[in-house]
Amino acid sequence: MPADNVPARTWTFLSNHGHVLILLSQDADARLRDIAAAVGVTERAATAIINDLEAAGYLTRSREGRRNHYTVHKHQLFRHQLEAGHSIDELLRIFR
């Protein structure tokens, strides 16, 4: 049964965590609402992703006035066993 009015299912090679990490490596002072909009998630989801990345040591969040500033720790290694020998900087360099 064709579903002409149903959008095609889409996927990407990178997770939302990867998208947030790339975005923050390019704009360390990005606002949460801008991060969420760029990645296509809610602000609540973006906050959870940032908390995950910070807890895992991939970034540090610091307060500068009324804004957050994010420092990405590019030396950190990927978590999955297939990529574990590679730093996230290798991924980030692709998008610089």
The domain ranges of the chain are: 16-94
Helix (H, G, I), strand (E, B) or coil at 27: coil
pLDDT tens-digit profile of 16-70?
Answer: 999 999 999 999 999 999 999 999 999 999 999 999 999 999 999 999 899 999 9
Q: What's the token pair of residue 27? A: 């704009």
Domain 16-94, CATH: 1.10.10.10
Amino acid at 2: P
Q: pLDDT at position 59, please?
A: 97
Helix (H, G, I), strand (E, B) or coil at 87: strand
Amino acid at 82: L
In the predicted structure, residue 85 carries a pLDDT above the cut 70? yes
Q: What does the DSSP assignment read for 56-71?
A: TTSEEEEEETTEEEEE
CA distance 18 to 95: 11
pLDDT confidence band for 76 (50 / 70 / 90)? very high
